[in-house]
Structure 1
Amino acid sequence: MIQRIQSIYLGLAVIMTGALPFVFHLWKLENGAPFYFMQSMLYTVLFGLGTTLSLLSILSFKKRQNQFVMNRLNIILNLILLGLFVYRTLNLPGETAVSEKGIGMFLPIGTIFLLVLANRAIKKDEDLVKSVDRLR
């Protein structure tokens, strides 16, 4: 059923990877201009893949195992994205007048948290179905 709690978590993950990067910048450049994810093809592809995996996971609500695996892949994808952000943060020059990191760099952390919660709810549903099957 699509009205399960993991669908809400996955919907929030879709919003976090699909809509919020358009609103929040990742960091500011040396000239003070904000850097959005669309200015780099790598970040655009990674955010797009994360959004697509979350949407596919929502739509495959009848196959809990596939949903669980897609969420795991999405967690790995967001960890890669977070690693790229950390690498970029460590390479940002700190001596300039404006070296501001944006809130958009923390979006993968929130997405990972939501995906873990969704996986926990999927596991709980799977355990419930297995316990009912034992009674038959």
Structure 2
Amino acid sequence: MLQRIQTIYLLLAAGVSGAVCLFLPYGLNKQGDGLYAYTEPTIFGFYIASACLSLVAIFLFKNRKLQFVLGRINILLNFILLGVFVYWSLTVSGETIVSEKGIGMLIPIISIVLLVMANRAIKRDEDLVKSVDRLR
């Protein structure tokens, strides 16, 4: 289980979504204080759901098809989260101090890249198993 590269990718995606979102602000308010994900329930829920999906997918190593589907659902969830961030950044007017964006808005992009790499590795494993089954 842990010797597979997709497990490492999924573990990194879970770490980025679950832990890093607590430390990196996704924006700044009028006073210049950081806005963190744990203060906004919807964003925090998306992050925790993404981390949980990644962790569940790690333990489904025997069922590669379901693992692949969970990876796709997780990618979709991160795209929705990215869409929320883009919507918020576009609706904030540029004339106020509130328009400061934080580095935390890049977390869904990093998570998407890691999940795509994990899905490619899962697909490679599935193709390898199918090719071995053909030889029997």
Structure-2-length-normalised TM-score: 0.96
Query: In structure 1, what is the equivalent of residue 123 of structure 2?
Result: 123
Which amino acid is 1:108 matched to?
A: P
The structural deviation recorded for 1:31 is: 2.1
Query: In structure 2, what is the equivalent of residue 109 of structure 1?
Result: 109
Secondary structure (helix, strand or coil) at the match of 2:99 reads coil
Query: In structure 1, what is the equivalent of residue 29 of structure 2?
Result: 29
The separation in 2 between residues aligned to 1:35 and 1:57, in whole angstroms, is: 30
Query: In structure 2, what is the equivalent of residue 78 of structure 1?
Result: 78
2:20 equivalent to 1:20? yes
For structure 1, the 5+ residue unaligned runs are: none
Residues 78 and 108, structure 1, Cα contact 8 Å, conserved in 2: yes
The structural deviation recorded for 1:97 is: 3.8
The separation in 2 between residues aligned to 1:57 and 1:20, in whole angstroms, is: 19
Identity %: 53
Residues 2 and 61, structure 1, Cα contact 8 Å, conserved in 2: no
Which amino acid is 2:28 matched to?
A: K
Deviations 1:6-35 (A, max 9, x none): 001001101110110111000001221211
The structural deviation recorded for 1:3 is: 1.4
Structure-1-length-normalised TM-score: 0.96
Moved over 3 A (4+): none
Query: In structure 2, what is the equivalent of residue 40 of structure 1?
Result: 40
Secondary structure (helix, strand or coil) at the match of 2:47 reads helix
The separation in 1 between residues aligned to 2:134 and 2:97, in whole angstroms, is: 65
RMSD between aligned alpha carbons? 1.0
Residues 89 and 99, structure 2, Cα contact 8 Å, conserved in 1: no
Residues 10 and 54, structure 1, Cα contact 8 Å, conserved in 2: yes
Query: In structure 1, what is the equivalent of residue 64 of structure 2?
Result: 64
For structure 2, the 5+ residue unaligned runs are: none
Deviations 1:24-78 (A, max 9, x none): 0000012212110111110111111000000000111111001000000000000
